[in-house]
Amino acid sequence: MQVNQPINLFKLGTTYRLPDTLNRLTVGGNVTWQSEMYATTQINYTGPYYKAVQDPFAVVGLLANYQVDEHLSVGLNVNNLFDKKYYDGMGTFNSGSYGEPRNAMVNAKWKF
């Protein structure tokens, strides 16, 4: 049996707008966890089969958003906060791709 996707996947995210004088600030976070996944692979067409395994892992993200005025908001998102190295997918013939490393995004939104 070839399993190149996790059997179990759990995602949770939330945001919270701070109270009182900080009510223009929203903070939040998310976590994604997945169970083990594996791929049965062969180095060449005549060689033996090998089982490549990705252990279970979790990836955490944080966000903050500030409402400057009724039109403008600015935000910051940090993904893969702990810079976890993991496979995003696994395939046959020794193929696989790493998931995104830690990265940050700054955004600005204007409402008309």
Q: Is the pLDDT of residue 26 over 80?
A: yes
**pLDDT attached to residue 1:** 45
Q: How far apart are CA 5 and CA 43, in angstroms?
A: 20
Cβ contacts of 56 within 8 Å, gap of 6 or more: 6, 33, 34, 35, 36
Count other Cβ atoms within 10 Å, centred on residue 86.
17
Q: Is the pLDDT of residue 100 over 70?
A: yes
Who has greater pLDDT, 97 or 57?
57
**pLDDT attached to residue 49:** 77
Strand partners, 105: 77
Question: What are the start-end ranges of the E strands in 1-112?
Answer: 9-17, 25-34, 37-42, 49-54, 57-67, 72-79, 87-90, 96-98, 103-110
Q: Is the pLDDT of residue 31 over 80?
A: yes
**pLDDT attached to residue 93:** 59
Give CA 32 to chain center in angstroms: 6
Q: Please give the average per-residue pLDDT across 34-38, as a whole number.
A: 89
* Stated pTM of the model: 0.82
Question: What percent of the chain lies above the pLDDT cut of 70?
Answer: 91
Q: Is the pLDDT of residue 65 over 70?
A: yes
Q: How far apart are CA 71 and CA 10, in angstroms?
A: 35
Question: What percent of the chain lies above the pLDDT cut of 90?
Answer: 65
